[in-house]
């Protein structure tokens, strides 16, 4: 089964910088978010990827084209204006397809544009800015048991603020940024090819009309994941997850 990763969004605006940074290449520890996501899938035996590129797509291509020599020891031999590189360390056993899905294309449109590269009935999909310890084997099993066109991983959202319970003007409890009721879209989808019928054009936002229509047709299952999940939407999110990395609280890492 192939994993499709949405990598085309505008990105993060770093503090004090008027430019946007390509979010999938923002680093957790020493490696980009995108590398962490790929490693999550690879742990469960998923080694074929399709990257939906857009904003700073060339930077993502360059990162992977230069990955081996930047991240491994190697020997360089030059003879007659030719270069021979011998990589000493084990290379990642991956197949990655890079598809330019447009600079301003919406999420649904990006998915639609890679339709011809999906040759199996099912494929996985996630966002290029979130990590989790979700068990992908259990997710696949759940998806097939439910028999729906789409399964999304539902995760708990944590409040941005502390919650105070009050009675007669006196605090009865204080909860610092508790988990909220309900479930939010955590990515890590499994989709059948019929999902392409729900996407109309480049301007289709996958999270709007397609998912709403799937719900209407009783074709969206939700795998309720109570474990770790973190989306990196802001600089604060990036700081938090790098603090977790520095403190060796790396719940998403199984490898």
In the chain, the domains with their CATH numbers are 3-151+186-246 (3.90.550.10)
165: alpha, beta or left? (left if phi > 0; alpha if psi -120 to 50): beta
Q: pLDDT of the chain along its 255 residues, tens only?
A: 999 999 998 776 655 554 567 889 999 999 999 999 999 999 999 999 999 999 999 999 999 998 877 777 888 888 877 778 777 666 578 999 999 999 999 999 999 999 999 999 999 999 999 999 999 999 999 999 999 999 999 999 876 667 777 788 777 777 666 566 789 999 999 999 999 999 999 999 999 999 999 999 999 999 999 999 999 988 889 999 999 999 999 999 998
Closest CA to 238 of 29, 17, 3: 29
Rounded to whole angstroms, the Cα distance separating 132 from 116 reads: 28
pLDDT attached to residue 255: 83
Is the pTM higher than 0.95? The answer reads no
Rounded to whole angstroms, the Cα distance separating 192 from 124 reads: 9
Q: Which residues contact 236 (CB under 8 A, 6 or more apart)?
A: none
Rounded to whole angstroms, the Cα distance separating 212 from 155 reads: 18
Rounded to whole angstroms, the Cα distance separating 132 from 123 reads: 18
CB atoms within 10 A of CB 182: 8
């Amino acid at each position: 089964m192939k994993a499709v990763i949405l990598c085309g969004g505008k990105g993060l605006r770093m503090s004090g910088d008027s430019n946007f940074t390509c979010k999938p290449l923002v680093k957790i520890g020493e490696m980009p978010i995108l590398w962490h996501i790929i490693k999550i899938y690879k742990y469960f035996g998923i080694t074929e990827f399709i990257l939906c590129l857009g904003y700073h797509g060339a930077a993502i291509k360059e990162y992977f084209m230069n990955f081996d020599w930047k991240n491994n020891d190697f020997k360089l031999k030059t003879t007659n204006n030719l270069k021979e590189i011998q990589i000493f360390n084990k290379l990642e056993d991956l197949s990655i397809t890079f598809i330019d899905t447009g600079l301003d294309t919406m999420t649904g449109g990006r998915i639609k544009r890679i339709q011809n590269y999906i040759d199996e009935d099912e494929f996985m999909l996630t966002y290029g800015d979130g990590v989790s310890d979700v068990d992908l084997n259990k997710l696949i099993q759940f998806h097939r048991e439910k028999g729906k066109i789409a399964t999304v991983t539902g995760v708990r959202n944590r409040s941005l603020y502390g919650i105070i319970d009050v009675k007669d003007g006196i605090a009865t409890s204080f909860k610092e940024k508790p988990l909220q009721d309900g479930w939010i879209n955590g990515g890590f989808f499994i989709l059948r090819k019929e999902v392409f019928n729900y996407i109309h054009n480049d301007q289709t936002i996958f999270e709007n009309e397609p998912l709403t229509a799937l719900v209407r047709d009783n074709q969206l299952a939700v795998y309720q994941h109570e474990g770790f999940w973190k989306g990196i939407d802001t600089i604060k999110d990036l700081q938090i997850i790098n603090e977790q990395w520095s403190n060796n609280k790396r719940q998403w890492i199984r490898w």
